[in-house]
């Protein structure tokens, strides 16, 4: 069985919409509320916790739907998927304080909450795969970072708690569409997933250590996509400039 590209894209797009919605709400909160006093920070963390819980449940529901669909199509005979627990209040507070200690950029703070939402979805897939003895593979999507390429190069593997840290998915990036797919037999694959090609790219990278190879791939990717990256930065800067200008005009009125 091959999971069609359209089916996988619909799944990834659904997850992205959930993550983006969560990040967007946090960003808009910061753009319209002061977060300076202890009380204001408490209110902000309360809000972030509510957002991460609501949208985390949405991500988990999508992950359950995909998991169950693959299980039914494979006639695996496993129980229905169980959604993972959403991020705790402590997780949210730690993420917010940690991000704000490094930067006041509202996008980065929003992304931190989006990452917790994505983690709940990935945790859902991982927990059920481990429970049912399934296999998983890290499926790249979009502008794939070097680390995701390395994970994808490992191919299909037996689901294991070794890939988790503290009970959670260990390698989750904000603004990344890469995630786990699962299967119950070696006849199942995701259309377009070619681990051998990723392995060849990883092995062909210069360097004797993993870090050196990842840095080499990162440099190559930047060189190959420099114009696109610069254009994306230019667009983001222009949007931020227009937003700040709009805010200034509102304050004058």
Q: With contact defined as beta carbons under 8 Å apart, do 50 and 93 qualify?
A: no
Q: At what angle do helices 195-204 and 210-224 cross, to 10 degrees?
A: 100
237 pLDDT higher than 90: no
Kindly state the average pLDDT of the residues 167-193: 88
> Which of 88-92, 144-148, 161-165 comes out lowest in average pLDDT?
144-148
Q: What span, in angstroms and rounded, lies between the C-alpha atoms of 136 and 239?
A: 39
Q: What is the pTM of this model?
A: 0.82
Band (pLDDT 50/70/90 cuts) for residue 241 is low
Instruction: Summarize pLDDT for 64-79 with one digit per residue, the tens.
Output: 999 999 999 999 999 9
pLDDT in the model for residue 244: 53
Domain assignment of residue 239, yes or no:
no
pLDDT in the model for residue 216: 72
Domain assignment of residue 227, yes or no:
no
Q: With contact defined as beta carbons under 8 Å apart, do 134 and 182 qualify?
A: yes
Q: What are the phi and psi torsion angles at 104 (to 5°)?
A: -100, 5
pLDDT in the model for residue 233: 47
Q: What span, in angstroms and rounded, lies between the C-alpha atoms of 105 and 91?
A: 20
Greatest CA span in the chain, whole angstroms? 65
Q: What span, in angstroms and rounded, lies between the C-alpha atoms of 51 and 25?
A: 8
Question: How many folded domains does the chain comprise?
Answer: 1
**Residue with the larger pLDDT of the pair 139 and 253:** 139
Band (pLDDT 50/70/90 cuts) for residue 230 is low
Domain assignment of residue 187, yes or no:
yes
**Residue with the larger pLDDT of the pair 50 and 224:** 50
Domain assignment of residue 160, yes or no:
yes
Domain assignment of residue 71, yes or no:
yes
Domain assignment of residue 48, yes or no:
yes
- Its domain, for residue 164, covers 2-204
**Highest mean pLDDT out of 151-165, 167-181, 207-221:** 151-165
Beta strand ranges found along 141-194 (DSSP E): 157-158, 164-165, 168-169, 179-183, 189-190
10 Å Cβ neighbour count for 35? Answer: 18
pLDDT in the model for residue 253: 46
Band (pLDDT 50/70/90 cuts) for residue 169 is confident
Kindly state the average pLDDT of the residues 232-236: 52
Q: What span, in angstroms and rounded, lies between the C-alpha atoms of 106 and 181?
A: 31
Domain assignment of residue 191, yes or no:
yes
């Amino acid at each position: 069985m091959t999971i069609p590209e359209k089916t996988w894209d619909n799944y990834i797009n659904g997850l992205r919409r959930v993550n983006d919605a969560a990040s967007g709400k946090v960003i808009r909160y910061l753009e319209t509320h002061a977060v300076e006093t202890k009380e204001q920070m408490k209110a902000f963390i309360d809000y972030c916790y509510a957002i991460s819980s609501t949208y985390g449940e949405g991500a988990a529901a999508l992950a359950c739907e995909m998991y169950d669909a693959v299980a039914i199509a494979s006639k695996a005979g496993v129980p229905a998927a169980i959604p993972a627990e959403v991020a705790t209040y402590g997780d949210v507070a730690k993420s917010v304080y940690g991000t704000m200690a490094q930067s006041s950029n509202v996008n980065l703070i929003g992304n931190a909450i989006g990452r917790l939402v994505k983690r709940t979805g990935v945790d859902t897939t991982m927990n059920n795969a481990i429970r049912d003895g399934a296999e998983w593979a890290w499926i790249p999507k979009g502008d794939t970072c070097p680390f995701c390429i390395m994970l994808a190069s490992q191919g299909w593997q037996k689901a294991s708690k070794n890939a988790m840290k503290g009970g959670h998915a260990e390698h989750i990036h904000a603004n990344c569409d890469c995630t786990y797919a699962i299967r119950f037999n070696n006849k199942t694959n995701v259309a377009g997933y070619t681990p051998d090609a990723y392995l060849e790219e990883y092995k062909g990278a210069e360097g004797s250590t993993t870090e050196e190879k990842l840095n080499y791939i990162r440099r190559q990717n930047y060189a190959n996509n420099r114009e696109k990256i610069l254009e994306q930065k230019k667009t983001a800067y222009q949007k931020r400039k227009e937003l700040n200008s709009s805010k200034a005009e509102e304050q004058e009125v």
